[in-house]
A = this chain, B = another copy of it.
Amino acid sequence: MPEPPFHKFATSLPGTLMTPHAAYDELVARSRQRSLLSGCIELLGWDELTQMPSGGVESRGQQLAYLKGLLHEAWTEPRLGGLLGIVGQSPLVQDVDQPAAVNIRHWRREHDRLTRLPRRLIEELAHVTTLAQQHWAQARRANDYGLFQPWLARIVRLKRDEAKCVGDGDNPYDALLHEFEPDATTTDLEVLFAALRTHLGPMVASLHEQPNRGGSTNLRQEFPVTAQRALLETVATQLGYDFQRGRLDTTTHPFFSAVGQGDCRITTRFNPCDFREALFAMLHEMGHALYEQGLDPSHAGTPFGESLPLSLHESQARLWEVFLGTSRPFWQYFFPQTQRLFPETLASVQLGEFHAAVNRLQPGANRVRADAVRYDLHIMIRFELETALVAGDLHVEDVPSAWNDKYREYLHVEVVSDAEGCLQDSHWSAGSLGYFPFYTVGNIYAAQIFATIHREIPELEQLMARGEYQPLLAWLRENIYRHGQQFTAADLLRRVTGHACDHQPLVSFLSAKCENA
């Protein structure tokens, strides 16, 4: 039985008497402890959204605040600074791609970032966002933005405090981006999104003028949830998701949760009138989970064995949800099974019609249900509103009207209610300002990686049509998952695809979707 990483730390103070190797070993042990604590925090969050009775919310908020405070303390102890000082000057950091150098780099960055944040702020954010998520859900059910507005105001205030404390980058929003992606800047994202929008704008305008694309098969019919669940389990298993190391639950908002080594859970939500909602949400979260399940366990608990930040992680989710999951070979294999599960609705439907219906391009106010062509415009709207909120250019009371104006402008959509509009996503209530833009960066990466996979596995479509996903999974493990954070997302992308971040593959993929629709 392996020993848990709880050996007593050397009590000698860091200094010249401590060797770099001893200091490094202590940092590894501390990193593993922090990873255990993060897993506990993940579990508390997962439980809150899947199992917890409503009466538990106040104490859950306090528990999360306390554990996040402990995590902050563990990352910011002065001793950690001393240890990082010892190893940072040593030969351990010379070979930049080696585990020690990679780990030290990440620990240093995290230590520096968190040292600038007071524990009190971390705790208050954890506590407020736990309660805010309940108020947001209530506001959404009641279609009453006013119930959520004071909580959003409080969260925006706290996030601005956070940005001020962290103080990275030229723009306060940069500091919030860095929680999710260390090197991102608001300006780079603006440039990237503007370039992408020059292509998406005309595509969407043209779709708007010819609204009846994507075949006539109606997929908004009755799909019993039990059969939907069976479909999801079959698909996830076939694609390689390991249920011995995970589970699938139902939540208002789908998410994945890395609760521990060997325990990465996913959730989805079922719409009894449209099986696509649960299936594609599951594929998305499963993409995240396959990445987690494919990390190198021998480096567990250290950055070298952990997944890359958000943009690359989202690329792995969007790869399965959009690029693989809406493809024809995917449905060549899974359509007959789907048909058997929903005989009343699908018995007389042909694969071609069905595939066209799955890929139907339709306007709508909902991001999660958006088609592939419109999806990134939903993201850009959020990005613009968030940057304005953080800059103080948009007041929380004006969010609904600003939201609705942007939907009209970007997507030619009239938002009929706040529940379907600015209350649709849980991110703000969870304090995740700065998260949204990486869905689009993830899409861009996913398109680049998808094009590379096509090149490197020429028989991909034949394999998929036979339900054989092992070669694809092996490729992803070899080229992406197993590297952990050895490289930055940008470097890994370049190694894998031969190119820096480039929106053209996504534009090509979406153009083809428009043409085939």
- Min CB–CB distance A255 → chain B (angstroms): 15
Is A60 positioned at the interface, with any CB of B under 8 Å from its CB?
yes
A8 to chain B, nearest CB (A): 7
List, in ascending order, chain B residues with CB within 8 A of A468's CB.
none
Distance from A503 Cβ to chain B, minimum over Cβ atoms (Å): 38
Known: A1-B131, A70-B70. A63 touches B6 (CB 8 A): no
Q: Which of A40, A54, A244, A247 has the most CB of B within 10 A?
A: A40
> Per a CB cutoff under 8 Å, which of B53, B70, B127, B263 touches A245?
B53
- Provide the residues of chain B in CB contact with A40, threshold 8 Å: 40, 44, 63, 66-67
Verify A123–B63 contact, CB threshold 8 A: no
Interface pair B4/A60, CB less than 8 Å apart: no
Mark the stretch among A15-23, A31-39, A322-330, A368-376 that contacts chain B: A31-39
Known: A56-B259, A247-B53, A263-B56. A43 touches B36 (CB 8 A): no
Number of interface residues of A (CB under 8 A): 49
Distance from A59 Cβ to chain B, minimum over Cβ atoms (Å): 3
Q: Does chain B have a CB within 8 A of A120?
A: yes
Flag if A6 contacts B69 (CB, 8 Å).
Answer: yes
**Which residues on B sit within 8 Å (CB–CB) of A8?**
120
From A54, which residue of chain B is reached at the shortest CB distance? B244
**A52 contacts B by Cβ under 8 Å:** yes
Task: Decide yes or no whether A5 CB sits under 8 A from chain B.
Answer: yes
Q: Does A243 contact B (CB under 8 A)?
A: yes
CB contacts (< 8 Å) of A120 on chain B: these are 6, 8
Interface membership of A305, Cβ < 8 A: no
Whether A6 pairs with B56 at a CB distance below 8 angstroms is: no
User: Whole-angstrom distance between the alpha carbons of A246 and B59 in the complex?
Assistant: 13
C-alpha spacing A1/B150, complex, angstroms: 12
Once the chains bind, are B58 and A261 in contact (CB under 8 Å)? yes
Inter-chain contact A58/B262, CB cutoff 8 Å: yes
**A51 sits at the interface (CB 8 A):** yes
Q: Is A417 an interface residue (CB 8 A)?
A: no
Give the distance in Å from the alpha carbon of A33 to the alpha carbon of B58 in the complex.
14
Kindly state whether residue A260 has any CB partner on chain B within 8 Å. yes
With both beta carbons as reference points, the residue of chain B lying nearest to A300 in the complex is identified as B59
Q: Is the C-beta of A62 less than 8 angstroms from some C-beta in chain B?
A: yes
B62 touches A242 (CB 8 A): no
A48–chain B nearest beta-carbon distance, Å: 10
A65 in the interface, Cβ–Cβ < 8 Å? yes
Give the Cβ gap from A237 to chain B, nearest Cβ, in Å: 13
A222: chain B residues at CB < 8 Å are none
A458 proximal to B (CB < 8 A): no
A47 interface hit (Cβ, 8 Å): yes
Chain A, range 62-115, C-beta contacts under 8 Å to B: 62-63, 65-67, 69-70
For residue A202, CB closer than 8 A to chain B, the reply is no
The closest CB in chain B to the CB of A1 belongs to: B131
Give the contacting residue for A65; candidates B4, B69, B244; CB below 8 A: B4
Residues of B within 8 A of A6 (CB): 65-66, 69, 119-120, 123
Taken residue by residue from 261 to 285, chain A's Cβ proximity to chain B (1 for < 8 Å, 0 otherwise) reads as 1110100000000000000000000
Chain B residues near A53 (CB, 8 Å)?
A: 243-247, 262-263, 265
How many Å lie between the Cα of A53 and that of B46 in the bound state? 14
Pairwise interchain contact B262-A61, C-beta atoms closer than 8 A: no
Interface centre among A33, A37, A59, A265, by most B CB within 10 Å?
A59
A419 and B57 CA atoms in complex are apart in Å by 40
What is the distance, in angstroms, from A16's C-beta to the closest C-beta of chain B? 28
CB-CB nearest in chain B for A261? B59
Q: Can you list the 3 inter-chain pairs with the closest CB atoms, starting with the nearest?
A: A56-B263, A59-B260, A55-B262
In the complex, 8 of the A-B residue pairs with CB atoms within 8 angstroms, ordered by the A residue number, are A6-B66, A43-B47, A51-B247, A53-B243, A55-B244, A55-B263, A60-B260, A62-B260
Known: A5-B62, A56-B262; 10 extra A-B contacts, CB below 8 A, are A6-B66, A36-B59, A43-B43, A47-B47, A52-B259, A52-B263, A53-B244, A55-B244, A56-B260, A59-B262
